[in-house]
Structure 1
Amino acid sequence: MSQNSKKDTKRRKLLGFGFIPELSEHYFLVTIPTSRAKGADVLISEHFEWREPGKDKQIDISLNDENAQVKVIVRRGLWDEIAEETKAEFNRRLRSLGVKTGKWLKAGQVPVERSLGKELVLLAWAIEDCDPVLISTAVRNWLGLAPEERWWLYTMTNASTGHAVNGRGKGWRKAVRFALTENPISDTALKRRRDEFNLSFLGRNGSYSLFDSTG
């Protein structure tokens, strides 16, 4: 990203993790319940139109509205296991672009830039029905994938089993769970994959930007 682009991005309203409504209204939304119970539902939805919520009101989400569709529902206990790792990964990427980092709320709604949102949903699909002891393996294998691999897996899975309820435990969704919860990637391989991504997408001059992505 050029210095002028960075300055322009900083002047725009940035919400959550890298979401800038002026650049694209396509985003994902994480809705975190007020309940701290491990069985409470955390919902991740995909949106194609930005509507500023009123005071003390939440953005509408639905299981069937394609413009505000819930893609995955995970129990709070599972969400808590991936929250810090996903925050760290997304903020590492945002810092590399010179833009404001984000954080998950204890309760409420957090917008996520569309490319990062796809990656988040992919990980959530992998853990939604897995044995909790395998979550750390899923996170590690997810980190071992280059972002463009995560986007591709999301696209393929979403096309056939992307409905939060009807697609659960089927086809690509089931395959993603097995792929990410088995055979943890090594530290060396993880570092190599991350370095390869930084060189190929960011370039030595930091030319790549999430905000130029059509993904």
Structure 2
Amino acid sequence: MSQVKTYGFGFNPKETNHHFLIEIPTGNAKITVYERFNWDQDEQVSDLNDKDKKVILSKTKWNKVKNVIKKEFNRRLKGEGLSAGDFDSYYVPLERLYGKELMLLLWAIENAEVGVIDLAIKNWLGLSPEERWWLFTMTNASTGHYSDNRGWRIALRYALTENPVDNKLAGSFVQRLF
């Protein structure tokens, strides 16, 4: 059986056109993440609209999280028998569920101090993928546009950056409740 052709982090346009796209400019320019519903193999810039922007993040903050994200997603892609992804291109697509998880972490740190990003990463890693998807859905429903810095977006920042991690309580949030 041959390996399925995917782009970026697990995105297979033969399954769905719904994906997230990270625009990673060179230098210190900010990164932008879009949620998209169209895929054009040849020209990705044709469908980059302001209404589809989810976050604009400083390169400093991006550099603090990108390797952890890459490691987490590639571990799971390997388990699914898919090719590993990398953030080495100007445009990097992500399968929609990976994109939702990415957004959760990026929304949490977009207006946070750089010094709390490590705590946000630990808390993000402590959530199961399903918990990340649910939190994304709740946040996106009310404050999903990049300029919506209120409500659930603020709650995410506090939940992931000010909630201390206790290594004795390893496991998912739901497991810790019971």
Task: Give the TM-score of the pair, scaled to structure 1.
Answer: 0.76
What amino acid sits opposite 1:91 in the alignment?
N
1:61 aligns with 2:29: no
In the TM superposition, residue 188 of structure 1 has moved relative to its aligned partner by 4.2
Cα distance in 2 for residues equivalent to 1:41 and 1:61: 15
In the TM superposition, residue 53 of structure 1 has moved relative to its aligned partner by 2.4
Give the ranges of 4+ consecutive aligned residues of structure 1 lying more than 6 Å apart after TM superposition: none
Unaligned runs of 5+ in 2: none
% identical aligned pairs = 45
Paired position in structure 1 for 2:81:
98
- Pairs within 5 Å for 1:172-191: 172-190=152-170
Cα distance in 2 for residues equivalent to 1:163 and 1:44: 10
- Pairs within 5 Å for 1:138-149: 138-149=120-131
- Tell me if structure 1 keeps the 8 A contact 2:70–2:85: yes
Cα distance in 2 for residues equivalent to 1:72 and 1:110: 15
In the TM superposition, residue 50 of structure 1 has moved relative to its aligned partner by 1.0
Cα distance in 1 for residues equivalent to 2:130 and 2:164: 19
Cα distance in 2 for residues equivalent to 1:59 and 1:77: 27
Unaligned runs of 5+ in 1: 1-6, 197-215
- Pairs within 5 Å for 1:122-137: 122-137=104-119
Paired position in structure 1 for 2:132:
150
Cα distance in 2 for residues equivalent to 1:59 and 1:99: 27
CA RMSD of aligned residues (A): 1.8
What amino acid sits opposite 2:137 in the alignment?
T
User: Which structure's CA Rg is the greater one?
Assistant: 1
Paired position in structure 2 for 1:164:
146
Q: Is the alpha carbon distance of 1:188 and 1:101 closer, same or farther for their aligned partners in structure 2, counting shifts above 3 Å?
A: farther
- Tell me if structure 1 keeps the 8 A contact 2:30–2:58: yes
Task: Give the TM-score of the pair, scaled to structure 2.
Answer: 0.91
Cα distance in 1 for residues equivalent to 2:164 and 2:110: 18
